[in-house]
Amino acid sequence: MSRPDAGPRSSHSKAERSVSPVGAPSSLAPYLRGESRGCPLSVHTPGTRRALDFIADPDRTEETQLTTTGAISEFREAMRIDPFLTDSSLASIGQTLLRQNKQAEAETLFREALSANPALPHARGNLGAILYKQGKHDEAIRHLQMALQIDPNLILVHVNLATIFAKQDNFPEAIRHYREFLRIKPDDLPRRYSLASLLLRAGQIRESVDEHRQVLAQQGGHLPTLVSLARIFAACGDPKFRDGNEAVCIMERLCSRAGAENPQLLSVLAMAYAETGQFDKAVTTAEKALSLAKVNVLGKLVSQLQRELSFYRQTKPYRDPGKR
């Protein structure tokens, strides 16, 4: 989810960037296979089959006169005839449309399905994801929380709520939902790294370090985690978490492999040198990082490196703020 930049890369760098569709097991699969338990008329009705084929893959269907609205209308008519097609089936159509980024049509179907049957957790979760993207954050949170009341094990709903609460700086709730996700799926490395980063932002350094180490126990060479942990060791405001020698060891190894031209990695290496009193190396390394950041037009990093350099030139180590 992270944008490409000059720093460490991760599919979930620092925190989730956006909410995602929740997904749902399709209630239409037996119907599409012609196994409806209800009235057989709709299974063999060409219009209904044409509508479902169009909704499933509008780019590949041979039907050129049908629209999404028309296909949905035909499907609603099939629901009137065939008792197998329930509100859950309507929500499944909404899920298909959501995957095609037809959010307005999907929202209409999710609301219609929920009006008839409020206890559809995936429909609740998907409606919440749509509402969040519309900027209706409070309504989105309400639907996502209702989805979890129905099914507490909907893991992507936990991730979506963690994402929303993290963006609101509601760290306790964001952390709680990441922990719930990891309770269900403990081996998910990207989300554990997201939790580690969130704990760091919340100022819970000890817990953050523990989560960093759990990520590394699963994947010892996970670059974003190594860099983040080294930065804690080099620049944490709380001295009991600093370990300059370990930070130097980590960052020299990383920079010798692939980070010699990476200004963000060099920035952390400079912090580590300063923490161990090697200020000449810190200045030289930070100056190289600054030059690379300017070449790559990384404005925010240029400003940050200039600030860091001002510390090293005064023979002072750099300290991160308490929460970041």
CATH code where residue 248 lies: 1.25.40
% of the chain residues with pLDDT over 70: 73
The answer to which of 25-34, 155-164, 197-206, 222-231 has the lowest mean pLDDT is 25-34
| The pLDDT value given to residue 105 | 87
Task: Indicate whether 319 belongs to any domain.
Answer: yes
* DSSP classification of residue 173: H
Q: Is 71 domain-assigned?
A: no
Nearest CA to 176 out of 160, 158, 188 is that of: 158
* Residue 266 within any structural domain of the chain: yes
**Rounded-to-integer distance, Cα 97 and Cα 108, Å:** 11
Please give the model's pTM, rounded to 2 decimal places.
0.79
Using the Cα atoms of residue 225, residue 229, residue 235 and residue 236 in order, give the sign of their dihedral: positive
Q: Is residue 249 part of a domain?
A: yes
Full domain range(s) for residue 321:
243-324
pLDDT, the chain, mean:
83
In a domain, 35, yes or no: no
Residue 179 lies in a domain: no
Q: Element (H or E) spanning 1, and its range? A: none
pLDDT given for residue 12 in this prediction? 44
pLDDT range class, residue 49, cuts 50, 70, 90: low
- Kindly report, residue by residue over 174-209, the tens digit of the pLDDT: 999 999 999 999 999 999 999 999 999 999 999 999
The number of folded domains in the chain is 1
Cα of first residue to Cα of last residue in the chain, in angstroms, is: 19
